[in-house]
Chain A
Amino acid sequence: MIVANRKPFEEIMEMLKPYKKILLLGCNECVTVCSVGGAKEVAVLASEIRLSRLKNRIPVEIKEHTLERQCDPEYALSISSFVNDYEIIISMACGCGVQTIAETYREKYVVPAVNTTFMGSSEEHGVWREKCQGCGNCILDKTLGICPVTRCAKSILNGPCGGSQGGSCEINKDTPCAWQLIIDRLKQMNMMEKYLEIQPVKDWSTSRDGGPRTRIREDLRI
């Protein structure tokens, strides 16, 4: 899922400063799962904004609404009947959601309430960790399900480096060395021969280095 962090309250209030009628838009997908922008977080932020405005005696009207998915034009269009009743839209979705809403309602000022941070998974309740960088050329078959592109600070493909100490990365002892994890897993699976295969220089053009990416499936287009 896409993991995000809520922006500092002060920054949010600064963006909303000149506006009295606010549409606060949540998303039922990734940001709900990582507890940052679902219906619950929309209600909490709305309450905080109202409290702050009440304290400062500045009137505010907030409409709380959560879409099934903000990154989909079909769902984005579902708010068209009331979107013009509000002066500003503040989205609690990831950057993809914010952009879809902004593209759908070109005459509206759309601002983000969260900082989209990474693609990750839940490790336990309340803990999310980065697991994928979307490099466009997956090598998890060679590394037995542990991604060195993401989880190694240097993204090296033939590791570990000299900074691996006692199973931890030199950047932080709480960050496991991805290559230590890979070797442990190769040993456990009795597949150490895979470790001997030297990985060639990676072609990063499939990643962000090749510019923004687009995927098209002609058969699905209407």
Chain B
Amino acid sequence: MFFGLFHGIASPLAGSQPLAAAGLDYAGLGRALLPEAALAAGALAVLAVDIALLRAAGTALRFRAAAAIAAVAVVAALAFCLQTGSSGEVFGGVLVLDSLGTAARAALLCLTLVVLGVSAGAAVPRRPAEYCAIILFATAGFTLMAAAQQLLLAFLALELASLSLYVLAGFDLSRPESAEAAMKYFLLGAISSAFLLFGFSLIYGLTGTIDLTQIAIVLARQGPSPLLTVALVMVLVAFGFKAAAAPFHLWAPDVYEGAPAPSAALIASGSKLAGLVLFTRLLWPGLGEAAGDVSSAHFGAGWLPVLAILSGASLLLGNLAALVQTSLRRLLAYSAIAHAGALLLGVIVVGSSGPGPVFYYAATYALATAGAFGIVGILERTGGSLQIAGLAGLSRRSPPLAGCLLVFILSLAGVPPLAGFFGKFAVFAAALKLGGVAGPAGWLAVAAILLSAVALYYYLIVVKQAFVAPAPANPAPITVSPVAAATLVVAAAAIIVLGVFPSLLLGLF
């Protein structure tokens, strides 16, 4: 078999091969992959129903049918995912369903539900069935990324997700910005994939295995080498791109601005979370030997100092550049870059504090961003391209939308008792635990805390438009589809509940 073949090649340490002892448990693999199977089946069903039954129907109806089928598929996947639970390594360690994997898969499926829900309020895409099917494929890629514990599967999952996202970014054929976004995203994404694959091949060459657990064992024995450094750089470049961390952030503002709103929501939320989990797994369990040290001022060489630099650069650049944005989408993009800085700090502390803080941060951040893009989509449907000034009077025109926007934006700003605050709190506390303010991790935490006061300014500008500025004369009425409205309200409520009871997520780890 495919995977077995690779294990066969990559077994210089036959004695410690888990496969030999465990045998290949196809039934277990099947059970573990039920969510992905449900997603794939759902995607095919969406396409089949559309082609077979709805060719003559209007796009609105076709979209509703497609989104409904897709939502059913996601709910089924979620049920499978929760039913399987954290069952540990699957198929000899190709996949791992630990608490992080399970929590991430569940969170990713929920995020896809949110994206499907808010897409009901955005402009209807021209080929609705394809749109929904590709969202499902992307989601399948995400959930695989969340559980992959082997380089090849990790790369395939990442490519499945990425290729789907390139298409989603360019889906709006009526706007040249959309095509531009897709092109930029694709070119830079393809380059970063190439880096990643090159890095993977070097790691394979060095260690003779593609299994993360095996890689760790071999690296512990080999110690550092120049080739490993090159491989690490390659991997970090790809990570920086995926996380939209400076200086690999350049695609983010254009893609967030040009892509259709639901696509942007998915790129900003699910893709971020899945990438984070994938690279966390890759770096800590896999390459943890080469982590280095950032707890004191004497850098220990490794990938941690590099991540720390990326984190600092992102915090600084994101927060400062966001100050001057006039477009809500670009503001969200720079805020995403700033958040990427904090998320990288979260990855840094995984080694000492576990994945709880960074997962909580990423999941709640993703939810808030998806919600914010949902609102962007609804408003753009009625008002065209959205400037921050275009939010004027939102609280009079649509109080529920304004209320949801307030929750999402303030959560992004990290105002307690919303979830965004506790994400920051947990990550920064963990970072300071590494060594107080004696080392880069602590410096970054303090800088991030102080920069959050800067960030409050641009977030307040957004809510100020919505709540303080008077509505324009004769505004177009805002129509919100009930499904989108319900989705947004549930998302906002979830942010409040997760904020008031952070242990609901933090307690999982």
Do A and B assemble together? Answer: no
Q: Which residues of A are interface residues toward B (Cβ below 8 A)? A: none
